[in-house]
Amino acid sequence: MRIGVSGPHGTGKTTLVHELCSRFVDLTPIEEPYVLLEEDGYDFEYPPSPADYRAQLTRSIQLLDTEPDGSVFDRTPVDFLAYLSATGVDIASAIDISAVRNAVARLDLLVLVPITPETERLLPPVEMLGLGRTVNDILLELAYTDPLDLLADVPVVELSVPLANRVETIGAMIR
């Protein structure tokens, strides 16, 4: 099984990935592209630019193309499409959608981790809250209307359950 975890910054994706992999030892966490690029010496702008989101999109596609079964991806190409769109990029014309579609098709499950009243109340405050909310809305729209036909055969689950129930909810789906 290959699981992608997507959502705006500050919603507990990384924590969820690590908790899931700790609970199910046959799963391996895959760091988010931002971290991997930074480790490789990539110099991100602040706030991140469209070029930064494109670099993360490219790395995310590479990860989905190369990592084995049992991987849990902290972010997917869908995240970066949402961030690019939120920064004004027309993703339908500026991105190789077929490359994204092929990469996303390698997932067995896409888990959306949206902003909820509980995440806003319990998790640390995030920088660029307005961007996060915009990304949240775009991610949900991409997932539920699928205007780019990215998720045709990929099951999508939105984790709007309490934080304490997230791992159990996913666990019930992958057993």
Q: 18-36, pLDDT tens digit by residue? A: 999 999 999 999 999 999 9
Helix axes 97-104, 50-66, angle to 10 degrees: 40
Residue pointed to by tokens 């775009």 = 138
Task: Label residues 120-137 b or e (16+ Cβ within 10 Å = b).
Answer: eeeeeebebeebbebbbb
C-alpha to C-alpha distances, 134 to 51, 71, 144, nearest whole angstrom: 19, 28, 16
Task: Give the pLDDT of residue 174.
Answer: 87
With 90 as the cut, is the pLDDT of residue 165 above it? yes
Residue-wise pLDDT tens digits, 98-146? 999 999 999 999 999 999 999 999 998 889 989 999 999 999 999 999 9
Q: Are 110 and 6 in contact (CB under 8 A)?
A: yes
